[in-house]
Structure formats: C-alpha cells, structure tokens
Structure 1
C-alpha cells in the first residue's frame, strides 16, 4: 500500500500576460508609437520612426521571452521519511534532491519591511533556495503551509 505524502506542492512561475495579452500590449504600443512617428516623419526626421519600430520589436521580444519560463517548475513532496525537491528549468533540465526531514532546517528570509525574500532549505551539505520565482506573497503562503508539515514529519 502506498503512503500519502504529508505535503505536496507544485510551484510554477506567475504568468501575468497570456499570448493574447501580449498581442494587445504590442498593438497598443504600435498605436502610441505611431502618433509621434507621423509627426517626426512629417518633419523629415524619418530615422526616429525606425527607432520607434525597434522599441516595439524589443518590447515584443522581452514579453515573449518571459513566456518561455512557463515550462519551469518545482515540485516539493514531504514524506514521513524524506523531503523530495524536483526542479525543472525552462529548458527541461531536471534536478532532484532528497533529504531526511529530521536533518533539514527551513528558513524564511525577510527584508527590512518584513516581506519574504527567500525560502531556504538548509542541511549539513549546504543551503538550497526553493520557490525563487515566486512573489513575496506566494512565498509567505508556501511557508505558512510547509512549516507545520515539516514539523509533523519530525515527530
């Protein structure tokens, strides 16, 4: 019979824009760039129009590059006798770590304004940061759920 985990979480990066949202932002930026573009073109400063087009192209590249992170995730599973962390990068490279929960310390690092900046798993071998791509609020919620589960595993 298989045992149920004490805690399981799948952490994924936040996607603020969908591909349709990116298209909307680019269309809006094109319209807004066209206004001064026409004025500069009418004044004979046509190279500015090319630079405005370059700005739009760079904006499109930046927004679509951020969508590539959608394939990255971290899977954290806490069993009574093991803490398994599986990290997959956006390119599909996988790293799997396993620890004894009794020898693990969970640390929440905060800044001067009491926001969570990092979540760290510390062992004798070193420290490993989890949920690096999470927002401070998401890190806070994860810590609130994970800490009691880790305490249960140590009993």
Structure 2
C-alpha cells in the first residue's frame, strides 16, 4: 500500500475542516447573572434578619432560626439552579455531517453524528402551544435537540436548521472568484 492510498491521512480535509453551514450553541435560560444573585441574596438576608430580630424581641426566639433556614434554602435552590445552567448543546451542520454535542451540568460530554442526506427532523407539536419537542432521526436513532428553547424559539431554530440541511443536501459550492 502506498502513501497515496492511506485513508487516515491527516492532510486530507475532513468534517472539522469543512465550512460550517449552521452552528448553534444552546444554553438554558438564566434569569439572574452573578451580580443579580448577590443583590437578591443580600435583600433576602436583610429581610430575614430584620423579621427574625422582630420575632426575637417579641419572645419567639425559635422563629429567628427558621428565617435563617429560609434564607439558606433560597441560597441552596439558586446554587442548584446555577449548576444546572452549566449544561449546553451545540449543533453543527456541514456538507458531510450534522454533529450534536451535549454537555451535562456535571461536564459529561455526549456526541452524535448524522449524515445530512439521511437525517429527518421530527417534531411534536401542540395545537395551542406550538412546537414542544424536536428530534433528529436517522437509521433508527432518535436524538432530542433544542430542549432548552421555548416554542417560538424552537420554530425559529427549526427554520434555520432546515435551511442549513437543504444547503448541505445541495452539496459544496465552487466559487472560483475567491
């Protein structure tokens, strides 16, 4: 076998070297940034401490501890919320593949690759609420995508993805002017 017959030649262009027709990085919606979280926790702490002091003066000293537990529970809930917001999903379409890369809140990475010529997009729609779920389907595999998006955002995402898939099915274009 000669050097020219080697299929694993790194100098040949592969899917990573191809121009991207579509790329989307999806993340869960975050209502508060870091500064907003600190302001909220400061307000909750001041209110809880003030109300706890009022009950302490009235002689109901155990209530003071419950106000502290309330503030701690709100803090813990927002920390869990912040941890779950670390998840992401990246969808990339080139002329030779569709790649879905999902990162869990823990940092675990799962990837799927599909041929854009054979992939179909399946959707679950509700008459009143719009698109509820989107799936990429190919060769018996069904992968849920765009789970973080709302119904209107999924509709916009779907139209952009369909446009990119049509471009991928047309194949690469040759532009001699470049």
TM-score bin, normalised by smaller chain: 0.7 to 0.9
Confirm or deny that 1:33 pairs with 2:48.
Answer: yes
Instruction: Return the index of the structure with the highest Cα Rg.
Output: 2
Structure whose residues are more often helix by fraction: 1
Deviations 1:38-67 (A, max 9, x none): 332222222112111111101111112222
Task: Give matches, 1:47-58, under 5 Å.
Answer: 47-58=62-73
Q: Aligned partners of 2:144, 2:156: CA distance in 1, in Å?
A: 16
Task: Give matches, 1:1-155, under 5 Å.
Answer: 2-155=17-170
Q: Which runs of 5+ in 2 are unaligned?
A: 1-12, 171-178
SS at match of 2:117: helix
RMSD over aligned Cα atoms:
2.0
Q: Aligned partners of 1:134, 1:115: CA distance in 2, in Å?
A: 12
Is the alpha carbon distance of 1:30 and 1:147 closer, same or farther for their aligned partners in structure 2, counting shifts above 3 Å?
same
Once the two structures are TM-superposed, the CA of residue 101 in structure 1 deviates from its matched residue by 1.4
Q: Aligned partners of 1:112, 1:37: CA distance in 2, in Å?
A: 49
Deviations 1:99-119 (A, max 9, x none): 111221112323342333222
Q: Aligned partners of 1:153, 1:54: CA distance in 2, in Å?
A: 55
Q: Aligned partners of 2:151, 2:65: CA distance in 1, in Å?
A: 39
Deviations 1:65-119 (A, max 9, x none): 2222343221111112211111111222111111111221112323342333222
Bigger relative contact order, structure 1 or 2 (CA pairs below 8 A, ≥6 apart): 1
Q: How many residue pairs get matched?
A: 155
TM-score, scaled relative to structure 1: 0.86
Runs of 4+ with deviation above 3 angstroms: none
Q: Aligned partners of 2:126, 2:53: CA distance in 1, in Å?
A: 47
